[in-house]
Structure 1
Amino acid sequence: MDRTSVLKAIADETRMKILTLLLEHNCCVRALARNLELSEATISQHLKILREAGLISGEKRGYFMHYDVKRSVLRELAGEIKALASIEREICTPEKGRCLSSEQEKCHVKDECIDDTKNLCHGSIPDDKEDMHHGHCKCHKP
């Protein structure tokens, strides 16, 4: 599964609607077009993207191609998202941090992070998000 193409494919609202309909029962282009009140050409373009992403497959029935969702791809993506969401944030320390050694000295030796150090080590933080810095980094106050 190419995660990026799958995510791009499902990022479109119409394609999500198509997937939802196809999860309920397999359909042909004409049925999808009728349900979504779109042209068959538009549905075909969306199906092409979903097919190229590996999310759907088609089966010829008479004159019509009926499409179905590859649920295994959705399950695999869901597993990857679940694993991503389960990553625990670590306390920022010189030993665990990913700062360069020169940056560690500036950030982790002092009891307080000065603005320049915050920008160097943690990136620019908007004034209204100031407390976010200390939400994940214990170099200021435990």
Structure 2
Amino acid sequence: MDRMLVLKAISDETRMKIMSLLLHHNYCVRALARKLNLSEGAVSQHLKVLRDAGLLTGEKKGYFMHYDVNREVLHALAADIETLASMERELCTPEESGCHSSEQEYCHTQKHGNEEVRESCHGADFAKGGNGHEHPGHCHCHKSE
């Protein structure tokens, strides 16, 4: 599955409507065109994009092709999105993250009344000064101004 191709295919509102219709019932181009109040040519173009992304399968019934959604592709996409959503954020330290020295300089030379700056440099725990984290000796983030 080409995830980007699938995402681009379903990013169109009309194609999402087609997907929704086809998830409930198999339809041919003519039936989809009537339900969506579109020309058969327009529906065919949308179906091509969805087919090219691997989202549709077709079954010939007489003279007409009836389309169905390839649910395996939707499940694979859902699993990819779930994996992204469940990723844990790692704390960033300037030395380990490869920040440019100017970014480290910015963090460590600002008057750090601004928690957002401290958090972007050291992470939420450093910004709040909690959880027993030792602050680097050269940093004056938590010293009173």
TM-score (norm 1): 0.75
Cross-structure match for 2:8: 8
Cα separation, 2, equivalents of 1:29 and 1:96: 55
Query: Do 1:9 and 1:49's aligned partners in 2 also have CA atoms closer than 8 Å?
Result: yes
5+ residue gaps, structure 2, are 129-145
Query: Do 2:104 and 2:121's aligned partners in 1 also have CA atoms closer than 8 Å?
Result: no
Q: CA deviation at 1:96?
A: 3.8
Q: CA deviation at 1:133?
A: 5.3
- Correspondence 1:1-142 to 2 at 5 A: 1-100=1-100, 102-103=101-102, 105-106=104-105, 109=108, 137-138=121-122, 141-142=127-128
Q: CA deviation at 1:98?
A: 3.5
CA RMSD of aligned residues (A): 2.5
Equivalences, count = 125
5+ residue gaps, structure 1, are 114-129
Q: CA deviation at 1:60?
A: 0.6
Query: Identity across aligned pairs (percent)?
Result: 57
Cross-structure match for 2:132: none
Q: CA deviation at 1:18?
A: 0.2
Query: Do 1:56 and 1:68's aligned partners in 2 also have CA atoms closer than 8 Å?
Result: yes
TM-score (norm 2): 0.74
1:24-70 residue CA offsets vs partner (Å, 9 max, x unmatched): 01110011011111111110000000000110011111000000000
Residue type at the aligned position of 1:138? H
Larger radius of gyration: 2
Cross-structure match for 1:119: none
